[in-house]
């Protein structure tokens, strides 16, 4: 019981961080599944959502600023795809990746310009930022909400992909880009909707994440972004349940490592996991067999 009492806060924090990573990881895994592109700018979209929330909260009431943030983030993700990736659709894969890195550089510098290099603090949203006690462990309510919200969103997303027309189109495009184009699927629309879904989830993830860790700096998105990508690789890139499981695992392990007093290595752990996965299980847990990865 005592063991549980001391470790429960870390475990709870882990589940909550894991849920937030999961919401980002879905954006990575869906984009990779369709475009075969590591969207390096996705972490910065997550950061941008945090900043939009901070600035919009200062001028409008909460119940407008949350939807406003989500809509603006979705627009941002949509326009990034249109501006930076669409013109390069026929270019080699490396060019698109460089474009993604350039976009990430642009977003970070823009955020630096807007914030003036100062750490901005996320507003505490009433109710979800309140402290509560579970089994003697004090935590914020957002910690408890996150996993349920994440699972709810993932189930709706899986439903969308399995049972709607656009979902079917997404599956088709990720299976075979060219054939699906020949079958009359509007590939551009499908790709755009992927980015819209990814950015929407990143915006929700950002609201939850920054309610826990309130400091927003221009580079704050890079690390959660990379970790979410690792989660996506771990779960088998292209697979949504895989990405979610991977994200929860990474979130929990990372916080337990922090709890053991190895904070320096909490980030490094993720990459060790990544390399181990790439070495021994390159298709991840739920990934399809593919020959072009290794």
Partner 1 sequence: MNTAINSKKHKDYIIGFGLLILLLGTITVLEQILPRTSMIFTVLKKGAIYALVAVSMNLLNGFTGLFSLGQAGFMLLGAYTYAIFTIPVAARPQVYQYFDGGIIQFTIPVAAALILSGLVAAFFAYLIGLPVLHLKSDYLAIATLGFAEILRAIFQWDKIGVITNGSNLLKKYPVFKSCLFYFAVAIICITLIVLLINSTYGRAFKAIRDDEVAAEAMGINLAKHKQLSFVISSFFAGISGALLAIFQTTIQAKQFTSAMTYEILLIVVIGGIGSITGSCISSFLFIACSEWLLRFLDDAKLNFSSVQIFRPGFRKVVFAIVIMAIVLFYQKGIMGDKEFSFSRFTQSVKKLFPGFKKAKVIKSKSEGAAE
Is residue 229 a contact point for partner 1 (CB under 8 A)? Answer: yes
Residue of the chain from 145, 256, 278, 285 that contacts partner 1 (CB under 8 A): 278
Question: Rounded distance, CA 221 to CA 232, Å?
Answer: 16
Return d(Cα 52, Cα 61) in angstroms, integer: 14
Distance (Å, whole) CA 233 – CA 64: 36
Of residues 29, 72, 48, the one with CA closest to residue 240: 29
CB of 6 to partner 1, least distance (A): 22
Q: Closest separation between CB of residue 283 and partner 1, Å?
A: 11
CA 38 to chain centroid, in Å, comes to 12
Give the nearer residue to partner 1 in terms of CB position, either 206 or 270. Answer: 270
The CB-of-17 to partner 1 minimum distance in angstroms stands at 18
Quick one: which of 130, 176, 188, 267 contacts partner 1 (CB under 8 A)? 267
Which residue stretch of 68-76, 139-147, 152-160, 224-232 sits at the interface with partner 1 (rule: CB under 8 A)? 224-232
Does position 99 bind partner 1 by CB under 8 A?
yes
CB of 104 to partner 1, least distance (A): 7
**Per-position x/- string for 29-68, each x denoting binding to partner 1 as judged by CB under 8 A, each - no binding:** -------xxx------------------------------
Determine if 195 is a binding residue for partner 1 (CB under 8 A). Answer: no
Q: Which of 17, 29, 108, 193 binds partner 1 (CB under 8 A)?
A: 108
Residue 281 makes CB contacts below 8 A (sequence gap 6+) with: none
| Residues in CB range of 180: below 8 A, 6 or more apart | 169, 172, 173, 187
Q: Measuring CA to CA, which residue among 94, 1, 38 is closest to residue 233?
A: 38
Is position 260 an interface residue for partner 1 (rule: CB under 8 A)? Answer: no
For residue 261 the two structure tokens come to 């007093």
Closest CB 38 distance from partner 1, rounded Å: 5
Across the strands, what pairs with 10?
A: none
């Amino acid at each position: 019981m005592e063991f549980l009492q001391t470790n429960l806060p870390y475990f709870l924090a882990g589940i909550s961080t894991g849920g937030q990573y999961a919401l980002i990881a879905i954006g990575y895994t869906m984009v990779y599944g369709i475009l075969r592109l590591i969207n390096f700018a996705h972490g910065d979209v997550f950061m941008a959502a945090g900043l939009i929330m901070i600035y919009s909260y200062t001028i409008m009431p909460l119940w407008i600023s949350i939807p406003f943030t989500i809509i603006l983030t979705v627009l941002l993700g949509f326009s990034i795809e249109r501006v930076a990736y669409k013109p390069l659709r026929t270019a080699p894969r490396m060019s698109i990746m460089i474009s993604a890195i350039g976009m990430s550089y642009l977003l970070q510098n823009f955020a630096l310009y807007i914030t003036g290099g100062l750490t901005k603090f996320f507003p505490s949203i009433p109710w979800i930022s309140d402290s509560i006690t579970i089994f003697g462990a004090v935590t914020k309510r957002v910690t408890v909400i996150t996993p349920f919200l994440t699972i709810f969103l993932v189930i709706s997303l899986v439903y969308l992909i399995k049972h709607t027309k656009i979902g079917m189109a997404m599956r088709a495009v990720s299976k075979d880009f060219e054939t699906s184009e020949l079958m009359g699927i509007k590939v551009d629309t499908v790709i755009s909707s992927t980015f819209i879904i990814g950015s929407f989830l990143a915006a929700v993830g950002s609201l939850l994440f920054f309610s826990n860790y309130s400091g927003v700096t221009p580079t704050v998105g890079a690390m959660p972004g990379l970790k979410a990508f690792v989660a996506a690789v771990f779960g088998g890139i292209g697979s949504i349940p895989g990405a979610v499981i991977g994200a929860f695992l990474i979130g929990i392990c990372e916080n337990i490592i922090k709890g053991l007093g190895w904070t320096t290595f909490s980030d490094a752990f993720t990459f060790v996991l990544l390399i181990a996965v790439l070495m021994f299980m390159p298709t991840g847990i739920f990934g399809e067999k593919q020959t072009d990865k290794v």
